[in-house]
A and B are shown apart, each in its own frame.
Chain A
């Protein structure tokens, strides 16, 4: 009998946490393999854990093996914080947390500086945390929601023939009514003021399965574009409602968390033409790193999830997130001692001095998957390259060139919001001189 994914996960529960030995670098893994968001969360978690296994299979980080332990939180903020508290001091102390939840990120942003553990939030979290002068422990690597929203506006402007053509247009934001879904609103309002388009805000309550009224409003208002900021079942429900109300899927653009296989495979042909942002990568079954995982992890019977999902969009997102954490440790070792276990503070230094050029990425097996990332003490994002991919009824295909967020728009917003945060929390921002220490 073919065992389901969860059954396999349950059967392997004993192996979910690698045996802990002395001198191992501990990676806590916050996951949601159950609940409303499990179809998306489990693929990310499988990619994350598989990459850690791959690093161990290749001998560790300069010989330092990785230990990891999963904690299931069901995408609930309170349980996520509970997992953080449970794991932060285990096995000699956590290296880095990656909660895959903007709500949990908001909650942990105050805790990370006290516990001195970095937070990597690749493609999610607080947009203003790009400013490393204030958010010293947050690393929204590769992109924030302001980047995503900015690129979407750039893309539709390009389609219309220029930003001036956006005047009088109507753009609807259908968003998950949570900190995650609300993040792009500030940027879109700013862009709406700049270009004269009308922004319709349509919140959808958790988990997002009831959208009839939302799409009736879209049918009535007929926006020129719909931006979808959903997660989990909300995305496929939105596409089904769009089909049921006759809204063209070609006019729909999802954020990178609304552009993976679980979002469209159940809708199939009904989602044909739907577009979503790709946080650099898409589905990458042919990447070298994926082939390495299949050979060194799955062929040895140590794969975390189903083999057929290896290389899927969210699997790759988890894998890249793990790689960024591992490379932070590797970079820290260059300064603090190769072959040693790094503390949270040392890893933070590594993360804000990341310099993953194309040569390094290619060597790691990420050729064609992502572009270089270079962080600094003041810039904790590292890069903002984004592409659009489109569902053709059976698979995702890239349909745009590379975009980057417009720093002239985003930078002032980041500085303003982070200054406000610093004032609220009585934080003295780091100066460039302090960064050299």
Chain B
């Protein structure tokens, strides 16, 4: 029983991180109708910038405090992500207003490849460290209830709390602010939104900036856990089954979907893996998402679109 609970908790904590990245996909899709394939590359790019500036700033300016170096690196990276958002809008998206969804998807694929290559060229392709003081050692709880107790990874726990906080803030931003409502209006219909005076270009810059911040937070959490290196771009794509499951337009869907996928893949690996060869959690997440789609093609909380013929 203790082992099952440990696996469940591990899955929930991993799921919270998937939710965070999935939110990056959902945000951009809600605001612009673009399926942003570059979200993984944004995570890698942001984490690389954060890690390298945290390393370079002390060397350049003799900063001794790790915390100060991290804060400065964080601020510089935020600025870089904002500039990147601006450039993406100016150089790519501006010319694709009202184009087919597939065209926009291909454009984000191009952005992904560019960011991956450019990031590694500027910041390097080695493994870099982000040290934000996350505890690495585990803690045991409920030792008097279960033999051997239940092991909680403190780093995962803190990461899950940070992710949950950010998810809550973004949900409030979307539901309760004027900008959030404008973002949703743009997502519904570009032309209609423009006709009532919503500045489409500014909205796109804002949403890519927000996606950049989400990517940075995800990059810091994952970079701290795994080290900052190329695989972060692929880790972020683990959120794909989450958006399939949760629905591309739903913030709660991204959250619940993330938790279901996180728990599902861990339980499948631990309990099904040994009987069918192991190493199944990555593809099992997609199987789980596809099974859901059989019953709810729009995803758990996605909007059911009915087109009149």
A residues with a Cβ closer than 8 A to B are: 2, 4-7, 10, 33-36, 38-39, 42, 177, 201-205, 207-210, 212-214, 216-217, 219-220, 232-233, 236-237, 240, 243-246, 262, 265-266, 270
B291 at the interface (CB under 8 A from A): no
Is the beta-carbon distance between B265 and A42 smaller than 8 angstroms? Answer: no
B125-143 Cβ-contact flags toward A at 8 Å (1 or 0):
1111100000011100000
B252 at the interface (CB under 8 A from A): no
B14 at the interface (CB under 8 A from A): yes
B182 at the interface (CB under 8 A from A): no
Inside 8 A of A210's CB, which chain B residues have their CB? 14, 235, 238, 281-282
Is the beta-carbon distance between A213 and B270 smaller than 8 angstroms? Answer: yes
Give min CB distance, B50 to chain A, whole Å. 15
Is the beta-carbon distance between A207 and B136 smaller than 8 angstroms? Answer: no
Q: Knowing A203-B278, A244-B136, say if A214 contacts B122 (CB, 8 Å).
A: no
Is the beta-carbon distance between A266 and B129 smaller than 8 angstroms? Answer: yes
Report, nearest first, the 6 A-B pairs whose CB atoms are least far apart.
A4-B124, A213-B269, A203-B279, A38-B125, A266-B227, A177-B279
Inside 8 A of B155's CB, which chain A residues have their CB? 244
Chain B 143-163 residues near chain A, CB threshold 8 A: 151, 153, 155-156
Chain B 257-286 residues near chain A, CB threshold 8 A: 265-266, 269-270, 273-274, 277-279, 281-282
**Interface Cβ pair total, 8 Å cutoff:** 122
Give min CB distance, B139 to chain A, whole Å. 10
The residue in chain A whose Cβ has the minimal distance to the Cβ of B123 is A4
Is the beta-carbon distance between A217 and B270 smaller than 8 angstroms? Answer: yes
- Give Cα A270 to B127, complex, Å: 16
Q: Knowing A2-B56, A2-B59, A42-B125, say if A209 contacts B279 (CB, 8 Å).
A: no
Inside 8 A of A220's CB, which chain B residues have their CB? 3
Which one of B230, B269, B270, B277 contacts A35 once the chains associate, using CB atoms below 8 Å? B230
Is the beta-carbon distance between A236 and B227 smaller than 8 angstroms? Answer: yes
Which one of B121, B128, B274 contacts A7 once the chains associate, using CB atoms below 8 Å? B121
Give min CB distance, B47 to chain A, whole Å. 13
The residue in chain B whose Cβ has the minimal distance to the Cβ of A209 is B231
- Give Cα A219 to B266, complex, Å: 14
The residue in chain B whose Cβ has the minimal distance to the Cβ of A214 is B269
Chain B 17-34 residues near chain A, CB threshold 8 A: none
Q: Knowing A2-B56, A213-B10, A233-B226, say if A36 contacts B269 (CB, 8 Å).
A: no
Is the beta-carbon distance between A204 and B279 smaller than 8 angstroms? Answer: yes
- Give Cα A42 to B127, complex, Å: 12
- Give Cα A126 to B184, complex, Å: 56
Which one of A36, A212, A270 contacts B229 once the chains associate, using CB atoms below 8 Å? A36
- Give Cα A34 to B10, complex, Å: 31
Residue in B125, B153, B231, B234 with the greatest tally of chain A CB atoms within 10 Å: B125
Is the beta-carbon distance between B226 and A209 smaller than 8 angstroms? Answer: yes
- Give Cα A425 to B49, complex, Å: 51
Inside 8 A of B234's CB, which chain A residues have their CB? 36, 207, 209
Q: Knowing A219-B6, A240-B225, say if A6 contacts B124 (CB, 8 Å).
A: yes
Give min CB distance, A263 to chain B, whole Å. 9
Is the beta-carbon distance between A10 and B121 smaller than 8 angstroms? Answer: yes
Inside 8 A of A266's CB, which chain B residues have their CB? 127-129, 227
- Give Cα A419 to B84, complex, Å: 58
Give min CB distance, B264 to chain A, whole Å. 11
Is the beta-carbon distance between A34 and B266 smaller than 8 angstroms? Answer: no
B223-249 Cβ-contact flags toward A at 8 Å (1 or 0):
001110111001100100000000000
Chain B 65-122 residues near chain A, CB threshold 8 A: 117, 120-122
Which one of A36, A244, A262 contacts B230 once the chains associate, using CB atoms below 8 Å? A36
The residue in chain B whose Cβ has the minimal distance to the Cβ of A2 is B56
Inside 8 A of B225's CB, which chain A residues have their CB? 240
Inside 8 A of B127's CB, which chain A residues have their CB? 39, 233, 236, 262, 265-266
